[in-house]
Structure 1
């Protein structure tokens, strides 16, 4: 059987779809890169914003229009709106049933995939992917008032170290040069094992295990909530295999807005956290998420956010225009801002972040850094044009005499051009 897999939204969704691909291949089926070539499509949906939910519906319809006989819809949008999902697909699989999606569909024991696990390889159509996203936990016990993901994903629970190590080794066997640990609430890993409720482990234990027990050349953490970072965690980054990039979602730089969001941090606590990180890792890339136009956000509160992000001087970030999600407390709050105001504040924040990102890039001009090449394009005039990322998530372009996809090279960084740094392979 030929199977087409697609994913909308976060890295966790991508990790799940890659694992499904591995399981289908273990059972003897072929993964294809075009919906038109498939007998079955599996779409892993998202509902973090109204736009993500709309994209999810669009992808399912696109698979349907391609003439695929069987479509399985799963993920967060499906879990929150199963009736609507059922109108677009042949089968609906909610998040709490997703772990066994492949075994249930194929009617084989889930243990089948544990006997002789195949290497995890990039999905067809994603040959530029050099990173493997590894799911280490699911669910979230935080109560952020704007977030629908906690409703869609349920309570937090962690995968065991042995399961994760097996996944990491499988990805390395498939050629991945970088391992990215991901989860809904990554920082809570180790606090909620279903198989051992009384066992409590810090995230650092998992990181150390991967560094000590695998040959992963590069290890990266995805998003970490500010309140989850242990005091000594930054010391782990002295290992050069752990990438110097911290994504710490702030969401707002105003204490009063943070309280309405039910975020477990304050401006002062976040400021101290960043200072602690930079004391150990002076050039670490600290990126964040900000919500523009949260309900009730006054001009003064927005000004506090703008001032605070400029003070922190982030290396980059994602700016989200607030999108009310049904059944969340924030959607019922008074003071919902009009779309024009929300978009205007988003634009202002984007401009501020563009300036900060540019300043951060310029720090590294003249330095030599390791770059993992994610894509290569042959040009007759100047050879192969390479594009890749440094450990601290700087986009670098360089020319090579041969394709260097999925290779790590030392590169002299020469000059900034827009949102990339031009370099020369040494």
Structure 2
């Protein structure tokens, strides 16, 4: 069948982030239910009226969400969770209590997709409604595992509520095609409330022969500098302490809209608080697109509120293999990136990716890769065995025997684990930013400016703060620290507004850090610029197509309510965990304003209510006068 938006008429559209009104019938695939008649609209309405707790009432159900893959996928899941929560749905980690499962998938590696297949089978066996999102359905929409389930594309996450509602009604919905990017100001439920994963662009410019991600994410599409800066301001006001810039290739940002990464980075850095309370982390960047901007990027990485850490995938130490991968750079150019940044940025650390056993890789090619890793002693290396992805050119190449691939993977892992990147840090004093619990459930996790993972003991109230620590011991993957002093991150200079700070052109005051030499070796598994240009196959469905008519007025009212709720939050005060209320920005800047913090939206709502009440009164008086006249 055609994608759902292909059946819409009069696509005048709505502002970004709004649920589009249905002005015509919507095509869906009704799921086949054994021994159950199809439910008609009338019966659904009757059920809702007679049973207020009926699971058919939208917004009363519980959703289980599972995310695979990179930080970009994580951000997409947070946006979907935010919209579902905004419309009343509860989110749960318990699969049994959930009324519907939502799986956000990754297509980079075979193991990730195999885990997805297993989860889909479990969901079907549990007879739960299922929605599959992410790169797998977008890039391989004709997979057998996706038959009979609803799917939502990577650029359709702002319509996840519609897909969930229709799926709960028993329909199969497919939303895949779109030409515009989802809005950045959608509701969001962060996995870590102190970390904002900010997608700066989608897709890429490359055509790597092994990559499946471009099948899903497509060609490069960048958000504007203004929209990204606006999002940064919002999340800083929300109390975020780390901002992670994420994309399939951060370095390619802006090439489709006439800007570049340094322009964006400088604009974002200008918004960071002057007390050093919020740090910026630049995401994965391929070598070809940063070679011409190395000096400018180095300047940003030197900024006291930007982590001196960058993920630059090399994939192989052999030019012959890089050529077969169509990576569009040489080993020499990769070395230029590493050498330049290491020279210009104090304490700079670079993480990289390696694929072992790419088709055609010889012992000599692999030896060159090992030599490269030994030379730079990267504190973080993502080592992967080659997995052929269906539909990619590399899948048709002659494969290296699996036994050889595994042997090379083990050898490279052994080389990497022989490094001791944090030796020499013991006794040093560092400033760290604390944002999460350690996996042991005892320590808190902070990071130095070089993004070294530091484990400290302390109360939960230290989350979201910064501290000075003395390193007491070092391990292979992290170091342990003793807290000397903590910074109260809420003590911002209230006499100077953020706009005044921006107007002065001053950057963040220097953060306190000493002799940083190492970088943390942990970050979410990246999409690793897995790029491949390929046309999408057209989905052909033999299922019958039914039509559901959603009244435009219902849809528009739902959009309006969601918009008003979001705008209301922007004007209302924010509540602390202790129950006190932080005044809104408007009230801080205009102390003479109403103590109730009324904003334009509140005024509009009150005016609308009063107008409605007045209309009702006039109508009642009119009817009463007619009755009197008739007598």
TM-score tier (shorter): 0.7 to 0.9
Matches within 5 A, 1:92-111: 92-102=151-161, 105=164
Offset, 1:328: 1.1
1:189/1:202 contact within 8 Å kept: yes
Residue 456 of structure 2: aligned partner: 398
Matches within 5 A, 1:129-208: 130-192=194-256, 199-208=257-266
Offset, 1:415: 1.6
Offset, 1:170: 4.2
Offset, 1:384: 5.5
SS in structure 1 at match of 2:232: helix
Rounded to whole Å, the distance in 2 between the matches of 1:64 and 1:401 is 42
SS in structure 1 at match of 2:415: helix
Offset, 1:166: 3.9
The number of equivalent residue pairs is: 405
Offset, 1:88: 6.2
Q: Deviations over 1:94-148 (max 9, x none)?
A: 33544533356569xx99x979855x4434xxx5x64221111111220111111
Q: Deviations over 1:41-100 (max 9, x none)?
A: 3211011111111112223334445664x3210111122332436646631223354453
Residue 367 of structure 1: aligned partner: 428
Residue 238 of structure 1: aligned partner: 302
| More divergent stretch after superposition (93-102 vs 176-185) | 93-102
Rounded to whole Å, the distance in 2 between the matches of 1:115 and 1:52 is 27
| More divergent stretch after superposition (76-85 vs 144-153) | 76-85
2:432/2:468 contact within 8 Å kept: yes
Q: Deviations over 1:207-230 (max 9, x none)?
A: 122222354711101110012111
Residue 196 of structure 1: aligned partner: none
Residue 109 (structure 2) aligned to one of 42, 49, 66: 49
Matches within 5 A, 1:228-377: 228-229=289-290, 230-231=293-294, 232-334=296-398, 336-356=399-419, 358=420, 360-376=421-437
2:454/2:481 contact within 8 Å kept: yes
SS in structure 1 at match of 2:354: strand
Residue 78 (structure 1) aligned to one of 120, 130, 137: 137
SS in structure 1 at match of 2:432: strand
Report the TM-score, using the length of structure 1 for normalisation.
0.86
Report the TM-score, using the length of structure 2 for normalisation.
0.59
| More divergent stretch after superposition (219-228 vs 347-356) | 347-356
Higher relative contact order (CA 8 A, sep 6+): 2
2:152/2:163 contact within 8 Å kept: no
SS in structure 2 at match of 1:34: coil
1:56/1:77 contact within 8 Å kept: no
Shift of the 200–59 alpha-carbon distance from structure 1 to 2, 3 Å rule, reads same
Shift of the 350–31 alpha-carbon distance from structure 1 to 2, 3 Å rule, reads same
2:120/2:145 contact within 8 Å kept: no
1:121/1:175 contact within 8 Å kept: no
Rounded to whole Å, the distance in 2 between the matches of 1:205 and 1:349 is 37
Residue 31 of structure 1: aligned partner: 91
2:72/2:246 contact within 8 Å kept: yes
Residue 415 of structure 1: aligned partner: 473
Supply the RMSD in Å over aligned alpha carbons: 2.9
Rounded to whole Å, the distance in 1 between the matches of 2:367 and 2:157 is 42
Rounded to whole Å, the distance in 2 between the matches of 1:80 and 1:114 is 22
Rounded to whole Å, the distance in 1 between the matches of 2:475 and 2:102 is 39
Shift of the 30–293 alpha-carbon distance from structure 1 to 2, 3 Å rule, reads same
Residue 617 of structure 2: aligned partner: none
SS in structure 2 at match of 1:37: coil
Offset, 1:22: 1.9
Offset, 1:363: 4.1
Q: Deviations over 1:379-404 (max 9, x none)?
A: 9xxx9632333332322222225652
2:250/2:283 contact within 8 Å kept: yes
1:14 has 2:68 as partner: no
Q: Deviations over 1:236-289 (max 9, x none)?
A: 122111111110000001111111111121121111211110111131111100
Rounded to whole Å, the distance in 1 between the matches of 2:354 and 2:97 is 40
Q: Which protein is richer in strand relative to its size?
A: 1
Residue 270 of structure 2: aligned partner: 212
| More divergent stretch after superposition (98-107 vs 148-157) | 98-107
Residue 122 of structure 1: aligned partner: 190
Task: Give unpaired runs (5+ residues) of structure 2.
Answer: 1-58, 167-177, 485-631
Residue 195 of structure 1: aligned partner: none
Offset, 1:152: 2.1
Offset, 1:205: 1.5
1:226/1:270 contact within 8 Å kept: yes
2:158/2:186 contact within 8 Å kept: no
Matches within 5 A, 1:370-385: 370-376=431-437, 385=443
Residue 226 of structure 1: aligned partner: 287
1:121/1:174 contact within 8 Å kept: no
Shift of the 363–286 alpha-carbon distance from structure 1 to 2, 3 Å rule, reads farther
